[in-house]
Amino acid sequence: MKVERVLAVGAHPDDVELGCGGTLALYRKMGAEVVIASVSCGDKGSRELSREETVRVRREEAERAAGIIRATYISLGLMDSEIFEDLENRARVIELIRNVRPNVILTHSSSDYHADHRTTSLLVNQASYIATSFRFETESPPLSWVPPVYHMDNYLGVNFLPEEFVDITAVIEVKKKMILQHKSQFPHLKERSGEDILEDMLILARLRGRQSGVRLAEGFRLFRAWPHIRTYRLLP
């Protein structure tokens, strides 16, 4: 099965690059189109800048990161730390999925550390099925298939046991470069909780690599609900 379109949905700008940037780079190498979406605009991601300025800066960073693998970036524009599963947001995510028409969706797991990540996971899981419903109307027409949804690893792998691995050794520099576009987040996260997102990403990639017999890997789990399951591999 040739994957033609991939949709990666994160809660905040930078989540997708961290969780599955290597896998997205490999999909692009295989000729698939890639769309990176963030549900929120990341407005609370800076102490120094105003929220409006933060949104602008983070959009530019996300566009640059997507540009590195010639992917498209879309923000659904919700407020950071204010993502809830309600009817309006369900419709927004359904419309996103219908608009992109992906063969595969990548998103957060339901056990990651941030409430927005967990709600994004829920929104995508639900929307990926309802996107086929003729009676749930949004701007784009319904899908005729239910796209499989893969959950990407949790931050530092806490409470996540991957069942499929992708060897990202060959594209690690691309992944690093994508993450480094999110410059505004480095001082912010370091100051907040001592996180060095680049170092943490490499620690996890090395662990997942050791677990799967390669140098560096990303780990995933399939959202196992009918009819999301396929008999063949969809990850690179």
CA distance 233 to 212: 16
* Interaction between residue 28 and Zn ion (CB under 5 A): no
Cβ neighbours around 97 below 10 Å, total: 28
Question: Which residue number, 18 or 69, has a Cβ lying nearer to Zn ion?
Answer: 18
CA distance 120 to 107: 8
Least distance to Zn ion, CB of residue 197, Å: 10
Least distance to Zn ion, CB of residue 32, Å: 24
Q: How many residues bind Zn ion (CB under 5 A)?
A: 3
* Interaction between residue 15 and Zn ion (CB under 5 A): yes
User: Does residue 220 contact residue 104 with C-beta atoms inside 8 Å?
Assistant: no
| 126 Cβ neighbours under 8 A, 6+ residues apart | 85, 90, 93
CA distance 150 to 18: 15
CA distance 157 to 201: 10
Which secondary structure element, helix H or strand E, spans residue 236, and what is its range?
Answer: none
Least distance to Zn ion, CB of residue 85, Å: 16
* Interaction between residue 101 and Zn ion (CB under 5 A): no
Out of 6, 7, 8, 12, the only residue in the binding site for Zn ion (CB under 5 A) is 12
Question: Which residue number, 12 or 118, has a Cβ lying nearer to Zn ion?
Answer: 12
* Interaction between residue 11 and Zn ion (CB under 5 A): yes
Question: Which residue number, 129 or 160, has a Cβ lying nearer to Zn ion?
Answer: 160
Question: Which residue number, 11 or 205, has a Cβ lying nearer to Zn ion?
Answer: 11
Binding residues (CB under 5 A) for Zn ion: these are 11-12, 15
